[in-house]
Amino acid sequence: MNKMLILLILFVIIVSGCLSNPFKQVPVVKVNITYVETGGKVAVENLTVTQGTVDYAARPQVTQARSFPAIGARIVTSKGKNSSIGPWEMVLYKGNGTYSFNVGFKEGAEISNNDNVSVYIYLLDKKGDRLSLVTRDIVWKS
């Protein structure tokens, strides 16, 4: 019985140290982009990026494209020597339309008031080659 209790206590300690609070809020950038195809060319008709938060358990993580064409996005924060590049977020591109998704920061990265945040959004063709790139910069407000 004592061995089981000790093992249970050790398990709880290990798990609680390894898992973050799944309800803790983490920062994200919310992307809303509209693509329009005309004459064989794809153009961005509308793009908004806004700061926001989501539960830790729902945070964007490294998402690889399962197939192409796709939209890929990532964040770069500028803090002098403490700059960081966030993980890729990829969504399947299905043609004309509006796409909404969240882009996350690098795990453990700290974002502070007045930090510069750049969002890079790529449109990739059937082969995974870049068709277009748009960027937006925002100043983070706490």
In this prediction, residue 99 carries a pLDDT of 97
Its sign, for the CA torsion 57, 27, 108, 71, is positive
Give me the sheet containing 25-38, strands edge to edge: 41-55, 25-38, 97-104
What's residue 2's pLDDT?
73
Strands 116-124 and 130-139, sheet pairing: antiparallel
Per-residue pLDDT of the chain (142 residues; tens, 9 = 90+): 677 767 667 666 665 554 556 678 999 999 999 999 998 889 999 999 999 999 988 888 777 778 899 999 999 998 766 678 899 999 999 999 999 999 999 888 888 899 999 999 999 999 999 999 999 999 999 8
Residue 138 structure tokens: 């925002």
**Does the CA dihedral 82-64-91-20 come out positive or negative?**
negative
- Angstrom distance (rounded) from CA 30 to CA 16: 30
pLDDT at 36: 96
Q: According to the model, what pLDDT value does residue 23 have?
A: 76
Buried residues in 61-73 as b, exposed as e (16+ CB within 10 A): eebebeeebbbbb
Cα–Cα nearest to 87, from 128, 38, 41, 26: 26
**Whether domain 21-139 has CATH 1.10.1060:** no
Question: What is the domain partition of the chain in residue ranges?
Answer: 21-139
Q: What is the pLDDT of residue 66?
A: 81
Residue type, 49: V
Calpha distance 55→21 (Å, rounded): 9
Whole-number pLDDT of residue 78 = 80
